[in-house]
Amino acid sequence: MQVGFIGLGVMGRPMALRLARARAPLVVWNRSAAPAEALRAAGAEVAADPADVFARADVVILMLADEAAVDTVLGRGTPDFGPRVDRRVVVTMGTTSPEYSGALEADVRAAGGRYVEAPVSGSRVPAEQGRLVAMLAGEEEAVDTVRPLLAPMCHETFRCGAAPGALLMKLAVNLFLITQVTGLTEAFHFAQRQGLDRRLFLDVVAAGPLASGVSRMKAPKLLTGDFAVQAAALDVLKNNRLIADAARACGLASPLLDTCHALFEETVALGHAGADMVAVLRALEARSDAGGAGDARNGSPG
């Protein structure tokens, strides 16, 4: 089965490399040509454009930045859409709104194709290691087709029923991730401003029940001030907005998420959009330096 892969960014490139090195018959395309060269060296074919990928592949995986990018490569809303998706399985592995995904599934099926949501939990390092966790939703037969193809990239896959079940699951997971990393970063900031040994603080966290794969990955970045991207602050803000919209649509309270939303907006505004999400430290520092710590006695925000 010929597999197409479109979108070779921070996550897409290592994911596609895992497929190529597993010797999957693979054809790839990316808007900028340079990232595709590593895939060519690993044995993948490089397509001339998105239409070329769809012409040569049975299953096409999309790992793209946003909904507009997905629509563009599919030719959605143009006469190109039907011929591209007809008799193909379209797999979206990026994070979109659940409403968008449901509408896209309907359009793909109406055009004679099949559709699978397969968002993943994990950032660049797990992608490089093949340790992502995939959540799959769609028609059972289509999910059965896609699931084994993800093995080189994902060490676990979970069926989440009909679309948009996988995206809703991803948003729930991301809510936990965002609040967890923000909490660790705020605790680090607290320890630092209290004059504690920062390394000792992180060692204490690592030795106790609060340690996790996420804390072990983010702690060295906080300690050294290494904000090289694993999960970009701008992407976190986008995910935060998607979760908030889904919560509002159901009348759900999300106070922790709302605080994180404000902090990541400030992080991006301070010029750290492309930095790793631990750059939220800069927003916390800015608030502290401005005297905006808030009143800890009554919980009022800064």
Query: Does the pLDDT at position 226 exceed 70?
Result: yes
Under 8 Å CB-to-CB from 31, ≥6 apart: which residues? none
Under 8 Å CB-to-CB from 154, ≥6 apart: which residues? 120, 130, 131, 132, 133, 134
Q: Where are the beta strands (DSSP E) in 93-200?
A: 114-117, 120-121, 132-138, 154-159
- Portion of the chain with pLDDT greater than 90, in percent: 93
Query: Does the pLDDT at position 206 exceed 80?
Result: yes
Tens digit of each residue's pLDDT (9 = 90 or more) over 142-176: 999 999 999 999 999 999 999 999 999 999 999 99
Query: Does the pLDDT at position 291 exceed 70?
Result: yes
Tens digit of each residue's pLDDT (9 = 90 or more) over 261-284: 999 999 999 999 999 999 999 999
Residue 56: pLDDT band with limits 50, 70, 90:
very high
Query: Does the pLDDT at position 297 exceed 90?
Result: no
Query: Does the pLDDT at position 221 exceed 90?
Result: yes
pLDDT of the residue at 50: 96
Query: Does the pLDDT at position 300 exceed 50?
Result: no
| Residues 42-50, mean pLDDT to the nearest whole number | 96
- Dist. CA 287–CA 264, nearest whole Å: 12
Query: Does the pLDDT at position 130 exceed 90?
Result: yes
- Do 142 and 220 meet the contact criterion of CB atoms below 8 Å apart? no
Question: Across-strand partners of 120?
Answer: 134
Residue 1: pLDDT band with limits 50, 70, 90:
confident
The first and second tokens of residue 220, run together, are: 């060295």
| Residues 15-20, mean pLDDT to the nearest whole number | 97
Residues 186/192/197/200 CA torsion (nearest 10 deg): 10
Q: What's the whole-number average pLDDT of the chain? A: 94
Query: Does the pLDDT at position 299 exceed 50?
Result: no
pLDDT of the residue at 176: 97
- Do 261 and 237 meet the contact criterion of CB atoms below 8 Å apart? yes
pLDDT of the residue at 292: 66
Query: Does the pLDDT at position 132 exceed 50?
Result: yes
Residue 293: pLDDT band with limits 50, 70, 90:
low
pTM of the model: 0.90
248 CB neighbour count, 10 Å cutoff = 11
Query: Does the pLDDT at position 82 exceed 50?
Result: yes
